[in-house]
Structure 1
Amino acid sequence: MVAKTLRESTGPLGVAARPKVVDFNARVKERRHANTLMVVKRVAITIAFIAAVVGVVWALFFSPLLRLDSAQITVSGANEWVSGSKVESIASAQAGKSLLLVSTNDIETQLAAIPGVSKATATKQYPHGMRVAISAQEPAAMLKTPDGSLTAVDSKGRVLNSVKNASTDGIPVIEVNDVTKSLKSRSVVTAVKVVDSLSDAMRARVSKVTAQTQDSVTTELDNGNYTIIWGNASQMKLKKAVVDKIINDPNVIGDKHSVDVSAPLRPIIK
């Protein structure tokens, strides 16, 4: 044991060597420095990651990279009833936003709320455009139920779309209890045909439509100032000419307010 101790404490020349002294303060400082470097590195990595995420979010959602340009909005299916400019104005409300934030559903919903629009689709065209396609026609009439719902129908009584709180300017409104049942009624279908055949100017003056039977279609004009009894949908060209002549000539209509042209060659003015 003594010999082993002497060997460990003896240098290469047989001279006794001093044992190594460990500087604990220096080791503590080194460890603290290493820990500090590790913390700094982790913080730097975290900051870099956050900056990268923020950069990506900004680029995708707020930069011009994917911004919708109103000049790159294309419209198909527009016509005299629903103009291309009207469709563009609805879609352009989303212009300036990133396409990732643009709601095509909002655009489609607004378009579908226009009477006569039976189909509307909005498709994003990256990086800056949008394609909007619609199918629309001027309704022959609007069927209004007691709850205020409006259903647009064409001249053959086919449903175009259903809306609420929509403008009915220029579209005659027929009040019904049930849309499905009314479209199976000859009186309602005949009333639709009658108002569809009227000129735009006269359609705009229609304030009420009634039809007890298919041979007694009646419209009120100018909020009830005139009542026109059309009868059925036959000879409408002649009936319209007779009505126009009567109500637009003060010497003929006088102080009367009712015109019956169910027999157009023998109109009755009351």
Structure 2
Amino acid sequence: MASSLEKDMASSSVPGQFVDARGMPSDDAVARTLKETSSPLGIASRPKIVDFTARFRERRRAHVLAAASRVGIVLAVVAAVAALLWVALFSPVFRLEVSGISVSGQNAWVTTSQVMAIASKQAGRSVFLVSSSDVVDQLRNIPGVTGATATKHLPNRLVVTVTAQRPVAMLRTSDGTLTAVDSRGRVLNSVSDTSSSGIPVIDVTDVKSALRRNAIKETLAILSSLPESLRQRVSSVVTKTQDSITTGLDKGKYTIIWGDASDLALKKAVVNTLLSDSTALGSHTEIDVSAPTRPILK
């Protein structure tokens, strides 16, 4: 009873009044410190102290590692690209050799050696660096070539195809020499073991001067436009002037007066119609289509 009274008196003490320290609540500082510094597992831990110098060093180290990682990635990509470029452009895998070039479409007048002389210039380089357009442009300059293609095939092949025509005409000089020319008036190869049968012959004084004449140019234009079946029937050609070009067919059986090379589509249609219709042609042997809308039969 007394102790209860003493506690009440101590708790209700006023300033200046005597207080018995034995009645005051105790504060265990050690227990409180252990409680505040204990880990979730109940084990006492040391209060965390932030070391800003160490923190700065850690961040700097992280930045250095990140930069080094980025540089490493860039170097790896550059090395991979360089390796691919080397393989594609310089390795033997994609290198075009002469043995990897194939040619087709050539004939006696446009030879394989002529085509290979141009295509083989691309040998020794990567197929990716081969210029197909250069090959085609040069091939089209060969007399007798009317078309050409050059196709690359991986890993190291080039397929060249040319469209080679037979001579449009043979120019015959007074000494009997025959010179084959194409539709553009370019001189073809001299071929000794190939028959010129079915190729129209034009008598000229001199080949070079003849090829500069408009009459010869017009004649070549007419002959090159004829279908092969009709051109093979041409047995003679007269080119006195560029407006009076005349061809003989079937060893002189028929004579076609073309005039010049204008309106060729209509002129050929009229000639083909008359030659294929014996009733319309009748006994006439001369067809004048110099004015194709008003053909004259004689």
TM-score by length of 2: 0.47
1:32-74: CA deviation from partner (whole Å, max 9, x where unpaired):
xxxxxxxxxxxxxxxxxxxxxxxxxxxxxxxxxxxxxxxx9x9
Q: Please state if 1:178 is matched with 2:206.
A: yes
SS in structure 1 at match of 2:261: coil
Equivalent AA in structure 1 for residue 279 of structure 2: N
How many residue pairs are counted as aligned between the two chains? 158
- Aligned residue in 1 for 2:260: 232
Q: Report the equivalent of 2:105.
A: 78
More strand per residue: 1 or 2? 1
The Cα of 1:196 is off from its aligned counterpart by: 0.7
Q: Which moved more, 1:241-250 or 1:140-149?
A: 140-149
Contact 2:109-2:189 at 8 Å conserved across structures: no
Q: Is the 8 A contact 1:150 1:164 kept in 2?
A: no
Equivalent residue, structure 2, for 1:256: 284
Q: State the one-letter code of the partner of 1:144.
A: R
Quick one: structure 1 residues 146 and 163, their matched pair in 2 at CA, closer, same or farther if it must change by over 3 Å? farther
Q: 1:135/1:150 Cα in 2 relative to 1: closer, same or farther (>3 Å)?
A: farther
Provide the C-alpha distance between the structure 1 equivalents of 2:103 and 2:144, rounded to a whole number of angstroms: 16
* 2:272 matched residue in structure 1: 244
* 1:249 Cα deviation from its structure 2 partner: 0.7
Preserved CA contact (<8 Å) 2:109 2:191: no
Scaled by the length of structure 1, the TM-score of the pair is: 0.51
| Distance in 1 separating the partners of 2:185 and 2:248 | 21
Distance 1:264 1:135 in 2: 32
Cα separation, 2, equivalents of 1:134 and 1:155: 16
- CA shift, 1:180, in A, is 0.5
Structure 1 Cα separation of the partners of residues 171 and 242 of structure 2? 16
SS at match of 1:160: coil
Letter in 2 for 1:194: I
Gaps of 5+ in 1: 1-71, 88-114, 118-132
Q: What code does the residue aligned with 1:264 have?
A: P
Aligned ranges 1:38-49 → 2 under 5 Å? none
Match among 184, 207, 214 for residue 156 of structure 1: 184
Give the conservation status (yes or no) of the 8 Å contact 1:151–1:163: no
Aligned-residue Cα RMSD (Å) equals 3.4
Q: Name the SS for the 1:227 alignment partner.
A: strand
Partner of 1:195: 223
Structure 1 residues 204 and 238: alpha-carbon distance in aligned structure 2, compared to 1, 3 A threshold: same
Q: CA deviation at 1:83?
A: 11
- Give ranges in structure 2 of 5+ residues lacking alignment: 1-98, 113-142, 146-160
- Map Cα deviations across residues 120-161 of structure 1 (whole Å, 9 max, x no partner): xxxxxxxxxxxxx99943222111112222211111211122
Structure whose CA Rg is larger: 2
- For the 8 Å contact 2:170–2:199, the answer to whether it is kept is yes
The structure-2 alpha-carbon separation of the partners of 1:165 and 1:76, relative to structure 1 and needing over 3 Å to count, comes to: closer
